[in-house]
Amino acid sequence: MNNNEKIALVTGATRGIGTETVRQLAEAGVRVVLAGRDAGKAEAAATPLQAQGLPVESIALDVNDAASIDAAAKAIGERFGRLDILVNNAGIMIDDISKGVSGQGMDTWRTTFDTNLFGVVAVTKAFLPLLHKSQAGRIVNVSSALGSMALHADPASPIYHFKVPAYDVSKTAVNAWTVHLAYELRDSAIKVNTIHPGYVKTDMNAGEGDLDVADGARTSVRLALIDADGPNGGYFHLDQALPW
C-alpha cells in the first residue's frame, strides 16, 4: 500500500448510491473498503469494481451490531493503521405513507432510528480513533433534504407536502449530530459534513427520482475529498448549502 494513498470506508455500499460512491472514490485514487452487513453481498458488489482494476476491498459491517462494528474497526486498523474517509451511507426508509405522520408504529420509529441515527453514531465513534490518525480525516453523513426543518416548515418548499415522518426526523437528527460532532472536532484535522444526495432513482424509492445514481453519489464524493480549506459542519447538495 502506498502510504500517500487515502483509505476510505463506505457503509451500506452493496448497491445504489453506496456502490457508486465507492466507484467514484476509487476512480479518484482512493483505496476503498466497501462495507455491507452481509459479507457475501459486500464481496459480490466489490468484485466487478476490482475487475475494472479499481482499488476496492470488501468487509462485513452491520451498523446495528456493535460486535460487527468493532470487528470491522479492528480489521481496518490492523490492515491500514488509519482511516482517512468515512462515508456513513447506510440507511433505511420503512414508513407506511398511508398512515400519516401520527399513525406510524413505534417499531417503525425505533427501527428507523436504530439504523439511520444510532448506527451512524456507533460507527463514527468506533472509527474516530483511526480517523484521528489521518493527516486529514473526513466524515460524510448521508442525510436528505427531507431532514431539513426549514424546508418542511415552508409552504413554498418542494417537500412541504411530502412527510415521511420516521425517516425525515431521523435525518434531522443526523444533521444535528453532524453539527455537534463538527464542533467537537473543530480544532482537529477532521472535517465532518452532512449531505443530500438528491432525489435519486434507487431501490429505496422504487426507481422514482430525478437523478441517476452517478449524480446521487457526487455530493458524498466531493465532501470526502475536500482540502483543508473545505467546510466543517455544513449541509450540502453538490456545492449548494442547504437550510437546516
**Which residue in the block uniquely carries the three cell numbers 477532521?**
190
Cα–Cα distance between 142 and 240 in angstroms, integer? 15
Label residues 56-86 b or e (16+ Cβ within 10 Å = b).
Answer: bbbbbbbbeeeebbebbbeebbeebebbbbb
Active site includes 163? no
Active site includes 235? no
Active-site option among 171, 191, 201, 235? 171
Active-site option among 125, 133, 167, 183? 167
| DSSP H or E run through 32 | strand 31-36
Instruction: Tell me whether residue 127 is exposed, middle or buried, using C-beta atoms within 10 angstroms of its C-beta: 0 to 12, 13 to 18, 19 or more.
Output: buried
Please identify every residue annotated as catalytic. Answer: 167, 171
